Structure 1
């Protein structure tokens, strides 16, 4: 045996509680790729980048580079079908290649959409190319409470979370793809205050809500240095009055003072914001 060859060996599990699989072993089957289906409840549509990826797979199809799509049986219109939980690009490439009649797929137990969406999340978390928006949509399909809270907070603030990064319509007003920033804010501030922060931005009605804007508004409406010195409506008015000038000022301020852009944006808004008048008690 060569010196650089080593066997698979277990590692120490001291301090761990090994997980016991809740489903049976997966099975492998040879399937015509055209007989597979994709559920839009948790799977993304194939965009231009995806089409390019599929074309590359078609041109360089090689069984040594092949990863079997992960599928699950499901019922649809009274028929039993196989849904692709992960690997739709591979399946589409195989279906498009005239040299490929069947492909091996791995079939796991996931009997309903919620279980399938959870499986999709498990396969794609931490994987490059799968966006936070796609994972959020899958989490919604999986009835994840955190994802549902995000949607509810945004809906009550009149903010629409888009499903893809290129789905802005019109001016993009009250629309956002900054799902991770909103999620982090809700975790820090709770749903009620997070809704108020988003509502303050949404009421300005001036275009897509970006992560720096959300972070800037959160700072102004929660930091003791700022939050007691203005009303939320005055912050909205300041955002409307400045329009894109605030971003331009923030870029210059951030570069000059070596501060993050979102903090510089908060400072630009605060300077324009009408301040509260504090009554000074007089001693008789």
Structure 2
């Protein structure tokens, strides 16, 4: 009997084609058939670039930090294209990319790749607003997934710490009804706890949930994760016997206590994870005790 041939998918097979058909309904009727003057691409000396304060943002402290980071970590693959418009005197006004240009100049780079558009001052300002105002905000979950794919050490360390507890960080926001067991959206809390407590401690805290609430959904939330990490830091002896810790945590009603802590925190103008942490500490103290 002839065996069926195995098919293997290549990376190219998994990638999506550019297909605008599914977005047609969102376009509506075009305002005009005129698409404007097509821009051109060129490398332009930084000495010929100018910043127009009429619409460009002033570089404040956060902007200065960003410029410094761009310069410090400069890599052409992360640079992109600077959008500029021709102005008098064989010069060009930067429409988008002043921080990147300043970062490149700090590294001694003399010319940057530019997309040159034809636009007077009014249209330059309009282009600036369109580029910076119509940006689709990238969720922290998507950024984390990209960092993992890029092999960023901090992201990989977090992924591995979570995997050791059988926790999966979602790649994008998921409605509660569609969440699967051991999935979480609490990327910010996980990142902070990894930095503050370390990978092994975070894994131990997460396992208090995944190993005692198998098949359940919705417990891997920010207040619960932060409360567990804090409590196990205050009394590290509770981590010495994972079996005893998990046996105790099976008796803890995560959903009920989180709901109560949320209400109490609002009344006290406190943080939910702080209130939940106090409840959790008292509970484990009664269950496991504190060594003399």
- TM-score by length of structure 2 reads 0.49
Return closer, same or farther for 1:137/1:279 CA change in 2, 3 Å cut-off: closer
Question: What is the distance in 1 between the residues matched to 2:28 and 2:147?
Answer: 28
Number of residue pairs matched by the alignment: 181
Return closer, same or farther for 1:128/1:140 CA change in 2, 3 Å cut-off: same
CA root-mean-square deviation: 4.3
Structure 2 unaligned spans of 5+? 1-11, 41-79, 81-113, 116-131
Could you tell me whether the CA contact under 8 Å between 2:211 and 2:246 is conserved in 1? no
The partner residue of 2:198 within 190, 194, 197 is 190
The partner residue of 1:199 within 203, 207, 218 is 207
Structure 1, 269-278 or 228-237: larger mean CA deviation = 228-237
What CA deviation, in whole Å up to 9, does each residue of 1:28-73 have, x standing for no partner?
Answer: xxxxxxxxxx9978x9xx9xxx959x81587568857x999xxxxx
What CA deviation, in whole Å up to 9, does each residue of 1:219-275 have, x standing for no partner?
Answer: 11113xx55578664477346531421022102321232211111122232333334
Q: Cα distance, 1:153 vs. partner?
A: 0.9
Return closer, same or farther for 1:169/1:129 CA change in 2, 3 Å cut-off: same
Structure 1, 237-246 or 154-163: larger mean CA deviation = 237-246
What CA deviation, in whole Å up to 9, does each residue of 1:87-114 have, x standing for no partner?
Answer: xxxxxxxxxxxxxxxxxxx99xxxxxxx
Task: Quote the residue 1:215 is aligned against.
Answer: 226
> What secondary structure, in the 3-state scheme, does the structure 2 residue paired with 1:158 have?
coil
Question: What is the distance in 1 between the residues matched to 2:207 and 2:238?
Answer: 19
Q: Which has the larger radius of gyration?
A: 2
The partner residue of 2:150 within 128, 142, 146 is 142
| Higher share of residues assigned helix | 2
Return closer, same or farther for 1:136/1:59 CA change in 2, 3 Å cut-off: farther
Task: Quote the residue 1:55 is aligned against.
Answer: 26
Task: Quote the residue 1:164 is aligned against.
Answer: 172
Question: What is the distance in 1 between the residues matched to 2:173 and 2:203?
Answer: 22
Could you tell me whether the CA contact under 8 Å between 1:157 and 1:199 is conserved in 2? yes
Task: Quote the residue 1:175 is aligned against.
Answer: 183
Question: What is the distance in 1 between the residues matched to 2:197 and 2:246?
Answer: 19
Question: What is the distance in 1 between the residues matched to 2:173 and 2:251?
Answer: 25
What CA deviation, in whole Å up to 9, does each residue of 1:140-178 have, x standing for no partner?
Answer: 221222221111111111111111211768663211121
Question: What is the distance in 1 between the residues matched to 2:291 and 2:149?
Answer: 52
Task: Quote the residue 2:72 is aligned against.
Answer: none
Question: What is the distance in 2 between the residues matched to 1:267 and 1:276?
Answer: 15
- TM-score by length of structure 1 reads 0.50
Question: What is the distance in 2 between the residues matched to 1:254 and 1:235?
Answer: 26
The partner residue of 2:272 within 261, 272, 284 is 261
Structure 1 unaligned spans of 5+? 1-37, 69-85, 87-105, 108-123
Question: What is the distance in 2 between the residues matched to 1:237 and 1:171?
Answer: 26
Task: Quote the residue 2:288 is aligned against.
Answer: 276
